[in-house]
Amino acid sequence: MNKLLGSIEEAVRACGLRDGMTISFHHHLRGGDYVLNLVMEAIAAQGIHDLTINASAIQDGHGPLGAHIRNKVVTGIEANFIGPVIGRVISEGHLERPVIFRTHGGRASDIDDGTSHIDVAFIAAPSADERGNCNGILGPSACGSLGYAMPDARHADKVVVITDNLMPYPLSPISISEADVDYVVRVDKIGDPAGIATGSTKLTRDPVALRIASQASRVIEASGLLRDGFSFQTGAGGASLAVAGMLTETMVAGKIHGSYALGGTTGYLVDMLEAGCFEKLLDVQCFDLKAIASLRENPRHVEISASQYAGPKSKSCAADGLDVVLLGATQIDTDFNVNVHTDSNGRIIGGSGGHSDVAACAKLTIIVAPLSRARLPIVVDHVLTTSTPGDTVDVLVTQAGVAVNPKRGDLIERLRAAKLPLVSIESLRELAERQCGVPRPAALSDRVVGRVLYRDGKVIDTIYGVQ
């Protein structure tokens, strides 16, 4: 048994990769990931074409993928998120087959039950041993949790672990087991540490974001859910993180002992854990160095798989029954439908990630968003793309007021009693339009460039190309 190969090229050959197959990647190295580019370069050099990439996310560091799309090395992409760089390539019609967008939970479940078959999974591993045991918490490219890669490792026909930190056998902790790994390749660097753990995790000083955060905190307090046993997920946007800071004060002052926070984790959730706001952090992905260090050192900070995070076909998942989630929006319409896939021109700039998963699972789903960004209204008549259906969204908090989904009469009463500035979502839409004007409709082509699958696998929307 010798799994340790000399290069990615060798691993590609050893796996028998050929035209038409599906390969997979995870995005825990975020903007700092080198592995997708290294693998695609090796594959392209071998003259292989017509591949489908199934990735938890395509990041803006994956620019070279554009050339592989144009050269038909890659003709299909399935992902939960696609950043603007490759999003533009797809929106302009260069990818042969429409992108399939899933959610983080949906992707995991589709891999788990065989709906998505993966021929070869390439797993960027911050630490690995020569037989493939690996984790994300040790090494110079530490990224924290490897949760999104776990379903791939379990089910792919072939699994290649790529690391820049080869450690003596047996490595522990074991996030992905040698039992599932075919080959191991050592490279100089799997990623840029600065890109792995930067991003939107600095606390905002923007007064609009702080005002939104303050109102969102009041909504949570007024909801009746902020009590012993409280569970919570927040995004990594400025307002969302500011809410975490405000909630910490409230919970500590009120001696409220929550149950767990779920993430996508940041240092702000770690602070809450350490302040006693929560018993546990369940972690499918780390956003910053403090979260990575905490996962390494604090036994109450627990790595979980994407299947356990939010898999709709899992027997249960951590998202089930969450009390409160805070989420962002690129657009939200007067039916509370949220778009996080396309910008107002119709270009692909993101994806659901776990957005629609946790919105569906939580007792209270709060969207925090300013009325407008770059003079474009965020509250609109109809979202260009439905990422998260409005019937799973309860509240929109903007700087100009709080709109509650009319189906949540109970919540309206509670928030009114707490004297929150309740407004109708239509009035927020009007205000946004008054401030920004009504933007020209996006100029779209007839070409379908993407399909958005809801977490249950059904097509919830179709994305057209831009002209």
Structure tokens at 365: 């789903």
Instruction: Map residue 137 onto helix, strand or coil.
Output: coil
Q: Does 3 bind a second copy (CB under 8 A)?
A: yes
* CA–CA gap between residue 134 and residue 231 (Å, rounded): 30
As beta bridge partners, residue 311 has: none
Question: C-beta of 46: minimal distance to a second copy in Å?
Answer: 23
Span from 200-208, 235-243, 307-315, 369-377 in contact with a second copy (CB under 8 A): 307-315
CB-based contacts of 377, cutoff 8 Å, min separation 6: 371, 429, 432, 433, 435, 436, 438, 439
- Establish how many alpha carbons lie within 13 A of residue 435's alpha carbon, considering only the half-sphere containing its beta carbon: 17
Question: C-beta of 124: minimal distance to a second copy in Å?
Answer: 18
By the 8 A CB rule, do 147 and 285 touch? yes
Binding residue for a second copy, selected from 41, 279, 335, 433, defined by CB under 8 A? 279
Which is it for strands 395-398 and 401-404: parallel, antiparallel or unpaired? antiparallel
Question: C-beta of 320: minimal distance to a second copy in Å?
Answer: 6
Question: C-beta of 317: minimal distance to a second copy in Å?
Answer: 6
Span from 63-71, 81-89, 244-252, 304-312 in contact with a second copy (CB under 8 A): 304-312
Exposed, middle or buried, 297 (CB in 10 Å: 0-12/13-18/19+)? exposed
- Closest to a second copy by CB, 269 or 428: 269
Q: Does 323 bind a second copy (CB under 8 A)?
A: no
- Closest to a second copy by CB, 159 or 239: 159
By the 8 A CB rule, do 330 and 80 touch? no
Q: Does 16 bind a second copy (CB under 8 A)?
A: no
Q: Applying CB under 8 A, what is the total number of residues that bind a second copy?
A: 37
Instruction: Name which of 354, 328, 341 is nearest 386 in CA terms.
Output: 341
Which is it for strands 127-128 and 134-135: parallel, antiparallel or unpaired? antiparallel
DSSP assignment letter at 226 = -
Binding residue for a second copy, selected from 18, 300, 407, 434, defined by CB under 8 A? 300
- Closest to a second copy by CB, 315 or 419: 315
Contacts 24+ apart (CB under 8 A), 444-447: 444/346, 445/93, 447/93
Q: Does 455 bind a second copy (CB under 8 A)?
A: no
- Closest to a second copy by CB, 119 or 343: 119
Span from 96-104, 263-271, 276-284, 424-432 in contact with a second copy (CB under 8 A): 276-284
For a second copy, the binding residues in 368-407 under the rule CB under 8 A are none
Q: Does 292 bind a second copy (CB under 8 A)?
A: no
* CA–CA gap between residue 363 and residue 361 (Å, rounded): 7
Binding residue for a second copy, selected from 107, 280, 408, 455, defined by CB under 8 A? 280
Binding residue for a second copy, selected from 44, 85, 302, 436, defined by CB under 8 A? 302
Q: Does 104 bind a second copy (CB under 8 A)?
A: no
Q: Does 155 bind a second copy (CB under 8 A)?
A: no
Structure tokens at 240: 């969302």
- Closest to a second copy by CB, 82 or 166: 166
The mark string for 243-262 relative to a second copy (x by CB under 8 A, - otherwise) is ----------------xx--
Q: At what angle do helices 238-253 and 207-222 cross, to 10 degrees?
A: 50
For a second copy, the binding residues in 114-153 under the rule CB under 8 A are 131-132
- Closest to a second copy by CB, 159 or 190: 159
Question: C-beta of 183: minimal distance to a second copy in Å?
Answer: 9
Count CB-CB contacts under 10 A for residue 317: 26
Q: Hunting for tokens 């910053």 — which residue is that?
A: 288
As beta bridge partners, residue 123 has: 161
Residue 269, H or E segment: helix 267-274
CB-based contacts of 216, cutoff 8 Å, min separation 6: 239, 243, 326, 366, 368, 397
Binding residue for a second copy, selected from 63, 170, 406, 441, defined by CB under 8 A? 170
Question: Dihedral, CA atoms, 465, 375, 372, 236, nearest 10 degrees?
Answer: 70
Span from 315-323, 343-351, 403-411, 413-421 in contact with a second copy (CB under 8 A): 315-323
For a second copy, the binding residues in 172-231 under the rule CB under 8 A are 172-174, 177-182
Q: Where along the sequence are the contacts to a second copy (CB under 8 A)?
A: 1, 3, 131-132, 159, 168-170, 172-174, 177-182, 259-260, 279-280, 282, 299-300, 302, 304-305, 307-308, 311, 314-318, 320-321
